[in-house]
Amino acid sequence: MQLIDGKATAAAIKAEIAEEVRRLMADGKKQPHLAAVLVGHDGGSETYVKNKVIACEQCGFKSSLIRFEADITEAELLNCVHRLNQDEDVDGFIVQLPLPKHIDEQKIIEAIDYRKDVDGFHPINVGRMAIGLPCFISATPLGIITLLQRYGIKTSGKKCVVLGRSNIVGKPMAQLMLQKQYGDATVTICHSHSPSLKEECREADILIAAIGQPNFVTADMVKEGAVVIDVGTTRVEDKSHKGGFRLNGDVKYNEVAAKCSFITPVPGGVGPMTICSLMTNTLAAAKHTYY
Ligand code: GUN
């Protein structure tokens, strides 16, 4: 079994990005600039956004954090999005999700200029991704594809099972694993209403768990020699950890790891790659690589 080290891979990619930023700026180009909008004080979102700001510093990007209280109106938030769309210094921006219930998330996502949508959530980017056109690919699936490539894991012609069908991870992940230029695999998507979920998982050469249920994938669901990617990051109370909680994956790591050829740990697997891919997208936005 080989551990897939997302933390080390992300650090290497961020160093590559920082080097490219140095070259761009030496050529007189502007410093790439990522803005993040954070509404309210959700613990998980605070941590993600803080880590995104740190990653920007590591890559040599400028970053802006725009904070609002949870009682901001939808119209006020839309105004902020419009301002960022028009701000020529901002190359890309994200609105951290989830948003308070009185705000229509989809409306906010669709208000973002797709050329600055480094999260890859806008329907134009989702649609372009689905038919293999240049676009911003949402960060977690892009991070997983990057890990598979950097570890030289063969995916072409393999059987891949994706657990979960969220717009952010499950659906785009399945699309990428299907596409010739990325996974080129045979792909099955399973979810909470799939009757033969366990049997499907047992057939998988590559199993990607993004179901959001801690320890859901047990050893009896994994084929000998499979590649297992754990996207789960459920915050579980744990007084022995800093901050009073720990991150729990979707895979029962202790019993599954021994059966795998490759496996991602939680933390230190997919999580750091998600933020790293957001940096990759921001650099692309600054260079206008996609448009
Ligand atoms: N909430 C959880 N993951 C993400 C993400 O990748 N982007 C944004 N904007 N919000 C999130």
**What residues does each domain of the chain span?**
29-116, 139-270
**H or E element, residue 206:** strand 206-209
Distances (CA, A) of 142 to 6, 128, 192: 13, 14, 24
**Whole-prediction pTM value?**
0.96
The structural architecture, per CATH, of the domain 139-270 is 3-Layer(aba) Sandwich (3.40)
Atom of ligand 1 nearest to the CA of 138: 6
Average per-residue pLDDT in the chain? 97
Query: In residues, how long is the chain?
Result: 291
Q: Count the Cβ atoms, other than its own, within 10 Å of residue 13.
A: 20
Tell me the pLDDT tens digit for each residue of 32-52. Answer: 999 999 999 999 899 999 999
Give the pLDDT confidence score for residue 127 in this predicted structure: 97
The residue whose CB lies within 8 Å of the most ligand 1 atoms, and thus the one to mutate among 45, 97, 275, 281, is: 97
The DSSP letter of residue 137 is: P
The average pLDDT across 206-211 equals 98
* Other C-beta atoms lying within 10 Å of the C-beta of residue 184: 16
Closest atom of ligand 1 to CA, residue 45: 1
pLDDT at 102 over 70: yes
Q: Which CATH class is domain 29-116?
A: alpha beta
Distance between CA atoms of residues 137 and 13, nearest Å: 17
Cis preceding-peptide flag for 100 (omega within 30 of 0) = no
Ligand 1 neighbour 119 (Cβ under 6 A): yes
Percent of the chain with pLDDT over 70: 100
Q: How far apart are CA 285 and CA 279, in angstroms?
A: 10
Taking the C-alpha atoms of residue 198 and residue 143, their distance in angstroms, rounded to an integer, is: 26
Nearest to 7 by CA among 282, 191, 274: 274
Answer whether residue 291 shows pLDDT above 70. no
pLDDT of 122 > 90? The answer is: yes
End-to-end CA distance of the chain: 41
Do the first three CATH levels of 29-116 and 139-270 match, i.e. the same topology? Answer: yes
